Amino acid sequence: MNPQVLHQISYGLYVAASKHDKKMNGCIINTVMQVTDNPKQIIIAVNKQNLTCDIIEKSGMVSISILSETTPFSLFEHFGFQSGRNIDKFVNYPFALTPQELPYLTDHTTAYLDCKVISSYNLGTHMMFLAVVTDCEIISGEKPITYSFYHEYVKPQQTSSSKKGWRCVICGYIYEGEELPPDFICPWCKHGVEDFEKIE
């Protein structure tokens, strides 16, 4: 089986955010799908290691910022490669509040969705949330970014490196060592060993 086949599935890129006890946080996700029209419901998947996942579970609410093709790599680094347990993710990033008072990004965002979680499912590494859309608005006329656009035009291209080890093909994190532990999880993007390649 070639796990690289899964990289051929088309995805968008989003910031999922929530708030509980005055703590706001958001993280990059690539799984958002509308599943019904009446009522308007979506499913999202969030890695369980992300603080955002914990906050969504506690609050029962989530906002989705649909990112645009103008999104700089620095935003993906900020919301995707570091933990809200250590920093305030929304400092220095323009945001507004949904009717449920959840944060959503106002720059590099095509639209937002304001959602109430109605059920959740433990998928092992991720939690899947089924949510009803309570509000949504267009922010800009920009095109939504896709995972393939991100890899081709936004993510910095790999340069030759003297480091030896294993490189995450998703985010570029380098694990230095001859052998990659079979249960290793990328500390930046939370992908497993199937998304690492040996640096020759």
List pLDDT tens digits, range 139-163: 998 999 998 899 889 988 766 556 7
Mean pLDDT of the chain: 92
14 pLDDT band, cuts 50/70/90, is very high
Domain with CATH 2.20.28.10 in the chain: 158-200
CATH 3.30.1120.80 fits 158-200, yes or no: no
Most confident of 4-18, 76-90, 175-189: 76-90
Q: Does 20 or 4 have the greater pLDDT score?
A: 20
* Distance linking the first and last C-alpha atoms of the chain: 23
Model-level pTM?
0.86
- Average pLDDT for residues 105-133, to the nearest whole number? 97
List pLDDT tens digits, range 40-95: 999 999 999 999 999 999 999 999 999 999 999 999 999 998 899 999 999 989 99
**d(Cα 64, Cα 109) in Å, to the nearest integer?**
10
What is the predicted pLDDT for the residue at 42? 98
List pLDDT tens digits, range 19-34: 999 899 999 999 999 9
What is the predicted pLDDT for the residue at 8? 80
Q: Per CATH, the architecture of 7-150 is what?
A: Roll (2.30)
In a 10 Å sphere around its CB, with 0-12 CB exposed, 13-18 middle and 19+ buried, how is residue 32 labelled?
buried
